[in-house]
Amino acid sequence: MSIIAITGTPGVGKTTIVKSLSDANFTIISVKDLAKQYGCEGDFDEATQSMDIDIHRLAEQFETDALGDTIVDGHLSHLLDVDAIIILRCNPTLLKERLAKRGYSEQKITANVEWEMIAGTWSEIIEFELDQPILELDTTNCEPEELCEVITHWINDGYSQQSTHARIDWLAE
């Protein structure tokens, strides 16, 4: 049994990839659903136009014993008790377009694009000294099926290709 986080900035393709992986015998659950289930939802944040989640309380309460092979979808999923982490990344120019199509405010688009540019998820992984196996993938020019194949191979191969730091550097381009 494995619990795998699929994380990354909003708009990088997490939910699209997770939907494709649902056919691979994984139970899929979102951080939002877990927050609801464990009573860890906060107030609606007008600035970000999203529901706050007390991720630290959720991490304390999240029980994995009854779960089989599960993928946790969400940009905070790497902060839960998981066996491995998959970080999806996307070129900030394309990410900005995707978020604009979703109708995000200019403030929310800018915040998320900046988070992606500075590899914010990696910053949290380093800050919290997370040591699970990590696979980082660039979704910019890849089809979901191709990424699912890479992910499935990585999982079936025992998380063989581990990253210890961000290899994708948008600021160097």
Neighbour tally for 167: CB within 10 Å: 11
pTM of the model: 0.93
CATH label of the domain that carries residue 151: 3.40.50.300
Number of domain units in the chain: 1
Secondary element (H or E) of residue 113: helix 106-117
Evaluate whether residue 136 is within a structural domain: yes
What is the span of the domain harbouring residue 156?
3-163
Evaluate whether residue 169 is within a structural domain: no
State residue 73 phi and psi, 5-degree precision: -95, 125
Check: CB of residue 133 under 8 Å from CB of residue 84: yes
Strand partners, 71: 4, 28
The per-residue DSSP string of 121-163 comes to HHHHHHHTT--S-EEEEE-TT--HHHHHHHHHHHHHTTS-S--
Evaluate whether residue 85 is within a structural domain: yes
Evaluate whether residue 122 is within a structural domain: yes
* Of the candidates 164, 11, 12, 169, the residue with the CA atom closest to the CA atom of residue 88: 12
Which pLDDT tens digits describe the chain residue by residue (173 residues)?
799 999 999 999 999 999 988 877 788 999 999 999 999 998 887 777 778 899 999 999 998 877 788 999 999 999 999 999 999 999 999 999 999 999 999 999 999 999 999 999 999 999 999 999 999 999 999 999 999 999 999 998 999 866 666 689 999 87
Residue 94, pLDDT score: 98
Residue 49, pLDDT score: 72
Evaluate whether residue 171 is within a structural domain: no
| CA pair distance 173, 170, nearest whole angstrom | 6
